[in-house]
Amino acid sequence: MKRHSIVVPVILVVCLTLAGCGGLWKPSHSTSVNAPTFPQPSPVPEPSPVDLGKDLPPSSAENSTFEMVNGLPLYRIGPGDVLNLVITRGPTQDKIQVPVGSNGKVFVLLAEVDVNGLNTEQAGAAITKELAVFFRNPFVEAQVKEYNSKKAYIFGSVGTSTRASGIAIPLTGRMTLLDAIGKAGGFNPNANMTRVRVTRTGGKTYVVNMFRFMQEGDPSLEFVLDAGDTVSIPEQVKGEEQRVFLLGEVKQPGPAPYFPNLTMAQLIAQAGGWTDNALYDQAAVVRATPEVTEIYTVDLRQLLLEGNKRIDQYLKPNDIVFVPRTPIASWNVLVNQLLPTFTLINQPFSTVLQISAIKTIGQ
């Protein structure tokens, strides 16, 4: 079934907030947005002053923490690591643990072997070679038990609080910035994901827009950490928090933190669903910019009770999800009712406001 789009220009006078405003548009049919498939393409966020991809380190397939072997990232052993060794000598098999010394060497039985910078397969081969001087046909398998030689340090809005002392994250191979932040407890709700700073041991600093990377998921935009990297996650400036708003007949109305790929269904589920008075088949997503206000209505009964996820919607920062109590006779009246909320979140209105809607597939 084809989608039919309707774009209706509406002139709103400056006195939009006055009760006597007239000439408001009333749709002649139900207006719901229903994507042919879901997930829909993720919304691309507005570019920030420092954009991901413009200030990334030179592309490299490996660094001091790992190397690529047959398409797999393998950890480079270093001082402070602890190895598990399985040493086979004929019918005899020994299992031992050995620390890697500050000089990068390990003592194994009668041999001292330099394993600094080697992966586990190379280390096993190097130890086997040295033991062959003392034993007949030895064979050594090596594994890293403790990763102590290479770490990244994360400060700022991570986990449940702002960390001034920092968290040391052991690098166990190829680890991305997102992986390390996850190991540190994830972003704090007040974290500014658009301006994450990474400082390398040489002093070079990169500013990474993690918010955009999480939205787009483009592997080419990943930031791969190296030993000694220091990550600083700033707090959001008051008034610039990424939020969405849930209003109307829901159990927990109000602002909610926005995160990449947040959907309407997820937001309403987090709020505990709708109240007994909700007209849930006419829930609306209101999205305003200075040039256009878009209103999409979604039948929550189909979405949440019947499992029709095709009609779910990706949200954007400052979107308002509204669940009415009574039928919406005029979208302009609805926008007028929501005007205080738009003012609260600093969403400007233009005097010429365009409201667009998409009819539900199947109607």
State residue 313's pLDDT score: 81
Is the residue at 180 inside a domain?
yes
Residues 6+ apart with CB under 8 A from 307: none
State residue 180's pLDDT score: 93
Is the residue at 50 inside a domain?
no
State residue 74's pLDDT score: 96
Task: Determine the average pLDDT of the residues in 20-32.
Answer: 33
Same domain, 173 and 211: yes
Say which residue, 250 or 225, is predicted with more confidence.
Answer: 225
* pLDDT tens-digit series, residues 196-222: 999 999 889 998 888 777 766 667 678
Model confidence at 359: pLDDT above 70:
no
Q: Which of 146, 169, 187 is the last residue of a domain?
A: 146
Is the residue at 56 inside a domain?
no
Q: Residue 291 is part of a domain; what is its CATH number?
A: 3.10.560.10
Is the residue at 53 inside a domain?
no
* pLDDT tens-digit series, residues 279-335: 777 788 887 766 677 777 778 777 777 777 777 788 888 888 888 877 766 666 666
Say which residue, 90 or 32, is predicted with more confidence.
Answer: 90
Q: Residue 125 is part of a domain; what is its CATH number?
A: 3.30.1950.10
Helix runs in the chain, H state only: 120-131, 177-183, 210-216, 264-270, 300, 331-344
Indicate the pLDDT class of residue 238, thresholds 50, 70 and 90: low
Class of residue 231 by CB neighbours under 10 A (exposed 0-12, middle 13-18, buried 19+): buried
Same domain, 214 and 289: no
State residue 27's pLDDT score: 35
State residue 305's pLDDT score: 76
Is the residue at 48 inside a domain?
no
DSSP string computed for 334-346? HHHHHHHHHHHTT
Taking all residues of the chain, what is their mean pLDDT, rounded to a whole number? 75
* pLDDT tens-digit series, residues 178-196: 899 989 988 887 788 888 9
**Among the ranges given (37-41, 120-124, 129-133), the one the predictor scored with the smallest mean pLDDT:** 37-41
Q: What single-letter DSSP state applies at residue 71?
A: T
Same domain, 267 and 190: no
The kind and range of the H/E element at 10 are strand 5-11
pTM tops 0.75: no
Same domain, 322 and 297: yes
Q: Which of 87, 116, 146 is the last residue of a domain?
A: 146
Is the residue at 273 inside a domain?
yes
The kind and range of the H/E element at 246 are strand 243-248
State residue 240's pLDDT score: 59
Say which residue, 278 or 235, is predicted with more confidence.
Answer: 235
Is the residue at 283 inside a domain?
yes
Say which residue, 95 or 42, is predicted with more confidence.
Answer: 95
Same domain, 278 and 346: yes
Please give the sequence-ordered ranges of beta strands (E in DSSP) within 37-137, or none if there are none.
66-69, 72-75, 82-89, 92-99, 105-108, 111-114
Alpha-carbon gap, residue 138 to 128, rounded angstroms: 6
Q: How many domains does the chain have?
A: 3
Same domain, 226 and 138: no
Taking the CA of residue 294 as centre, how many other CA atoms within 13 Å lie in the half-sphere pointing to its CB? 15
**Range(s) of the domain holding residue 172:** 151-233
Alpha-carbon gap, residue 65 to 75, rounded angstroms: 6
Say which residue, 173 or 27, is predicted with more confidence.
Answer: 173
